[in-house]
Amino acid sequence: RKEVEQDPGPFNVPEGATVAFNCTYSNSASQSFFWYRQDCRKEPKLLMSVYSSGNEDGRFTAQLNRASQYISLLIRDSKLSDSATYLCVVKGHAGKSTFGDGTTLTVKP
Amino acid sequence: SAVISQKPSRDICQRGTSLTIQCQVDSQVTMMFWYRQQPGQSLTLIATANQGSEATYESGFVIDKFPISRPNLTFSTLTVSNMSPEDSSIYLCSVGTLAGGRSYEQYFGPGTRLTVT
């Protein structure tokens, strides 16, 4: 079993749709959680950190469920520019980050 | 966030040769890492570059193949030695910083796209 698992997708949604990605992790001692966005042939860029209390940044909402060991990312009112691969990242005690394989989103007009 | 640059941005190399990739950060950072991302796959950590001491390698990666230098808190190099076509990949430098004291965040350089023929 992978340490960090994501539904690879692809998710194909129309503009304006709401889409949710889930990610599960196996190490219950994991400390920090993040969502990254990676555009084709570009480096990953930090989208948002994920806190236990949940956090929101505009159209993006991230939530963490430690008991069930999963993280979610909700995108509301999807834009064409949201098309990308979204990477779930989990960091443990030793400071090592483990990346999921990513979920590909395509937003269509 | 930190601004990270890498050189070269891409290269095509012959098998058996070596390539050194440079990573420069615009501020002093404690943590620097080197990742590899093969086409269609996620990122794999090669090693943590430690300032003033030997890098810490992940399983499957060894110093002889991927020697790393970190002479100071803003600069690191990764060498891909004795290259084979299987080394064709994107190599990414990454740094870790504390964001407002609340959480540790990681940023990536633009990557070096390596093709070995």
Which residues in A have their CB inside 8 Å of a CB on B?
Answer: 32, 34, 42-46, 49, 51, 87, 89, 91, 95-97, 99-102
Cβ–Cβ of A49/B99 closer than 8 Å? yes
Residues contacting A53, CB < 8 A, separation 6+? none
Residues contacting B32, CB < 8 A, separation 6+? B23, B25, B48, B49, B51, B70, B76, B93, B94, B95, B96
Q: What percent of chain A has pLDDT over 90?
A: 75
- pLDDT, mean of residues A3-25: 94
Chain B positions touching A87 (Cβ under 8 A) are 42-43
Of A21, A30, A29, A17, nearest to A48 by C-alpha is: A21
Cβ–Cβ of A95/B45 closer than 8 Å? no
Cβ–Cβ of A101/B43 closer than 8 Å? no
* b/e per residue A41-58 (b: at least 16 CB within 10 A): eebbebbbbbeeeeeeee
Q: Is B38's Cβ below 8 Å from some Cβ in A?
A: no
Cβ–Cβ of B110/A89 closer than 8 Å? no
Query: Minimal Cα–Cα distance from B82 to chain A, Å?
Result: 25
pLDDT tens digit sequence for A51-101 = 888 899 999 999 999 999 999 999 999 999 999 999 999 988 667 789 999
pLDDT band at B102 (very low <50, low <70, confident <90, very high): low
CB-nearest to B105 from A46, A51, A102 is A46
Distances (CA, A) of A84 to A8, A39, A68, B77, B108: 12, 5, 27, 29, 16
Of A54, A103, A60, nearest to A79 by C-alpha is: A60
pLDDT band at B101 (very low <50, low <70, confident <90, very high): low
Chain A positions touching B102 (Cβ under 8 A) are 49
* Interface residue of B23, B37, B43 to substitute, partner A, most A CBs within 10 Å: B43
Q: DSSP string covering A13-81, please?
A: EETT--EEEEEEES-TT--EEEEEEE-TTS--EEEEEE-TT-EEETTEEEEEETTTTEEEEEE-S--GG
Neighbour tally for A21: CB within 10 Å? 22
pLDDT score at B99: 65
